[in-house]
Chains A and B, each alone.
Chain A
């Protein structure tokens, strides 16, 4: 019959078509000197000042340079586009700029680039995404072609941290002519790699910039070409890594990492991001169960954080006692510790008149449900009945800021910066995210955040963190870590700030 014959020929044709496809050559990345990497999320437009996602920021740091650079291995600030810098008074920093630096478009770097870039991005209508990164700058003044001064709008202890690669310098003529959209479409920087091709959010091709200035703290890259693609499905990434078409992937969940270990090179490293449970203004206002400090202490005693960190966090995760990451400057560790002790938790609840337990509404966002359920299950063992509400991050934070969430379980990355100013003040400094509103702590932080004296800062942060722990305002959970999947012939060193530094990578 005609239809039968048609069907058969279609099927045979399709099979033959598949069978005759030549096997694909595995992309020999080392042989082609191309580092093939994949992200799960689409990188944002590459105007660094407008973006928040780590993927876009990683690419940006390869394309752009800042005035300074922080060597995370030593904690030392190094000269980058600025050769030297000094505070001429507590509110003014003077920079001597490096000469002979070229932008990717051939333009020469000078004071005008610093002036145009920073004076543009501080304007509110430019829409710089993280205001904390620029709102401390009042204006930039040009002294001569290679000297500039930053006049600060307010004292800010994180200024030097911010200048270290977080505030890239754009070529002034190109930036003035093309604006943010131009920088996003065809970014031009002085970085070790230049962008040669992009399909926004999908595929980016970077090539080593052969004229990258000598003496750059980033050094001269060993790998000539980087191709970064977005592959949303992790299983597809694993398959590509195993078949040699990818050399670098990251954020592999712990359970998957242990399975993949037998087939690919897995590297695990801690990062700045930490998980926490924050108790809201109810903690300080009275009238709620968690208004009683004994109840909050009972909660921390009741949760087996050690076990949760071990099971869900991964190899490099550790239980935290202080409301910060130990890798950060000023993160005092000598604070009140709450060991896992359900009996003590029950006793504290009894003391607080809640022997029969109570109901606690806990919202969680950007945390895996099983972790939230583990916390709730531990609390149930001492009689605290947790109502878990899973929210999108934006919805959870909105409710938190409105004050309608008694307990929020989430995580915080401190922008990947190793200084407690980027976590303490957000949650306890009196801003919208500070629902505890403890005036003593806010006052201590005010001094610490604005002082240039590291000892003063340390002492104040220490006092604040001790009080937070004593009053059990926070339940610090554990620090996050990242699993990287690497090709066997790739040398790659991870860093705790979640910025992949491919300029330091090399082939074995």
Chain B
């Protein structure tokens, strides 16, 4: 298990490095960063000064090695836009994204597991159809549209919940509803399909023929096996949610990482963009590694593969 863990962590580190170097060069493709930073109305002279001050006149490989060297020492640079350390800006924004992403994930999971299991118990039954309806509508309804409808109903008509900002826990209610509704279908459908497979397996039939109750069979025997494929997908889903849904953060004016990444990209605030990409790629890598480890723990065959 230890060797498996080491191997997995080494690969994870390589992936994070590769992502950071690709993102570093891609950020330059959106146009001359010096002109973007000089702003609309900035003259060629302004852009030239920016180019020298920020070192854009150096070869990109030099800029990258400088940046990665500093990043490895924990220094992600200073934001061109906010004149503040990138790590400080990210630290200010990350709690919002963490709360939003994790709560949405937990809500989605808490709904997806029972719904998926119930749908699997009687395929094509009433509950299965209801679950299917929820899944299809969750996938078909655009998040921003649902967000705006909820804003109109709960914020303008009934004045029950805040429309924007994360000043109180109530500010998270509507975004969490939208985001978990977005994440729910994938998790639920996978749970359903996986559970249907498991319920047809021989060991389940054996367990039932021994006279065990349905609840015990599902919880003790079925769930442990059915959940394996879900763990990997859930890790990716959590990664997506933690990356910060740009749309949801924009609609509800939540100052999370997603919105920060998007706006920093538009204004060529490269240290912030690169810092966020590095951190998020590390989070992804960490989550998928964690998923692999959980699966290896749940199913010993994976460790030996």
Contact = CB atoms under 8 A, between A and B. Distances in A.
A181 interface: yes
A24 B49 contact: no
Interface in B5-35: 30-33, 35
A12 interface: no
Nearest to B88: A200
Contact of A52 (B42, B44, B159): B42
A413 interface: yes
Interface string A26-69: 10000000000000011011010010110000000000000000
Contact of A398 (B35, B84, B144, B215): B35
B43 A199 contact: no
A65 to B, nearest CB: 21
A239 B159 CA distance: 11
Between A2, A10, A124, the greatest number of chain B beta carbons within 10 A of the residue's beta carbon is seen for A2
Nearest to B251: A233
Contact of B46 (A129, A235, A366): A129
Given A7-B114, A129-B39, A413-B40, A233 B253 contact: yes
Interface string A1-29: 11110110010000000100101101000
B237 to A, nearest CB: 19
B263 A401 contact: no
Chain B facing A: main interface SS: helix
Interface in B74-131: 81-84, 89, 92, 110-111, 114-115, 117-118
Interface residues of B, number: 60
Interface in A402-452: 412-415, 426, 431-433
Interface in B164-185: 164-165, 170, 173
Contacts of B41: 52, 130, 412-415
Nearest to A126: B53
A127 to B, nearest CB: 5
A180 interface: yes
B246 to A, nearest CB: 9
Interface stretch (B149-157, B226-234, B277-285, B288-296): B149-157
B49 A124 contact: yes
Contacts of A433: 43-44
A88 to B, nearest CB: 28
Given A10-B111, A236-B252, A394-B36, A125 B160 contact: no
A232 interface: yes
Given A199-B92, A432-B44, A45 B38 contact: no
A371 interface: no
A354 interface: no
B50 interface: yes
A120 to B, nearest CB: 15
Nearest to A397: B35
B86 to A, nearest CB: 12
A395 B266 CA distance: 11
Nearest to A47: B83
B244 interface: no
Contacts of B215: 1-3
Nearest to A240: B163
Interface in A296-317: none
Nearest to B115: A7
A240 B164 contact: yes
Given A45-B84, A131-B45, A398-B35, 12 more contacts: A18-B154, A24-B159, A45-B81, A127-B53, A131-B49, A181-B84, A230-B255, A233-B252, A392-B266, A397-B31, A401-B44, A413-B40
Interface of B: 30-33, 35-36, 38-46, 49-50, 53, 81-84, 89, 92, 110-111, 114-115, 117-118, 144, 148, 151-152, 154-156, 158-165, 170, 173, 214-215, 218, 250-253, 255, 259-260, 263, 266, 268
* Shortest 3 CB-CB contacts between residues of A and residues of B: A52-B39, A432-B44, A395-B31
